[in-house]
Amino acid sequence: MPELPEVEVVRAGLAPAVVGARVLGVEAHDARALTRHPGTAHDFEARLTGRRFSGAARRGKFLWLPLDDEAARGPESVMVHLGMSGQMLLRAPGAPAERHERVRISIEHPEHGELAVVFSDQRTFGSLAIDPLIPTQDGHPGGFGDAAPLVPEQAAHIARDPIDPAFDDALFRRRVAAKASGIKRVLLDQTVVSGIGNIYADESLWAARIHPETIARDLSTRAVNRLLAEVRSVLARALAEGGTSFDAQYVNVNGQAGYFSRYLHAYGRAGEACDRCGTAIRRVAFMNRSSFFCPRCQRQP
């Protein structure tokens, strides 16, 4: 599943094309792509057509495109759940349908003219939805990329992510200190900190020299601070490389893959030498997935 860097690459690519653009028409080819929308496919098409996108925002792995205010309903957005294989692609008007195209939104931008925003999803776990925007609990902007203190209702329970300017380091430390589970499970808990998935949890823990099964509340304040710093460093480096792509599913709006997979130190490297000490990276089962770590650099407590 795409994590913060992959979703941010999509958001950053969409923003110049959609902010200020008016929706000319919507074609929902597959109702499964609208499972989180509180209405029919026709309702989605009708409510979106003629509206104007006012932003492109993200919190953790959640992406939304705020819409101009509509007095009858209040502020709304198009909420984008990429799921496991969802893609938001920019195409020329009239471009042939993508292989797994589910929804096509035709837009007209004041500077760029007409474009098509295509939601493609091979596994159909992703979804688009028109979702109300509600005030944030802390009064800060809802997410990265939009200054409004509003967040989609479907994402209101999601914690802020580590590169959000409004992220509260002290709150994160308190939440970690209250957890009796392994630290990797805590990093994956989107109500504690958002945007981190299996790949970047393993990479951050390797960088911080912390075993993934270390009980969260047993970590010292210094260790938690070190981990948070490494999380931010890993995410920043992944963003610079366009995210991590192992196949054709994780791509930017132009269909291009990210290259951070070339710089992974732990994830997916079972049996290979640790870049720090030379010990073979170990793989163990973890929550129906896998954890990768160095048994020497990340000693089990």
**Residues pairing with 114 in the sheet:** 108
Is 70 exceeded by the pLDDT of residue 285? yes
**Residue 184 annotated to the active site:** no
Catalytic annotation on 289? yes
Percent of the chain with pLDDT over 70: 92
Calculated CA dihedral for residues 43, 44, 48, 50, nearest 10 degrees: -40
* 58 annotated as ligand-binding: no
- Would you list the domain boundaries of the chain? 4-155, 169-293
For the domain made up of 4-155, give the CATH fold: N-terminal domain of MutM-like DNA repair proteins (3.20.190)
Residue 123 counted as an annotated binding residue: yes
Helical (H) or strand (E) element with 289? strand 289-293
Per-residue pLDDT reduced to its tens digit, 176-212:
999 999 999 999 999 999 999 999 999 999 999 999 9
Pick the catalytic residue from 174, 289, 299, 301: 289
What is d(CA 293, CA 206) in angstroms, rounded to the nearest whole number?
6
Mean pLDDT across 110-130: 94
100 is in an annotated binding site: yes
61 is catalytic: yes
* CATH class, 169-293 region: mainly alpha
Give me the pLDDT at residue 291, please: 96
Per-residue pLDDT, averaged over 241-245, amounts to: 62
Asked about 272 being catalytic, the answer comes back as no
Average pLDDT over residues 223-227: 98
Instruction: Compute the average pLDDT of residues 34-58.
Output: 96
Cβ proximity of 188 and 198 under 8 Å:
yes
| 169-293 shares the fold of 4-155 | no
Q: How far apart are CA 184 and CA 147, in angstroms?
A: 31
pLDDT at 48 over 60: yes
pLDDT given at position 245: 46
Measured distance CA(147)–CA(29) in Å, rounded = 33
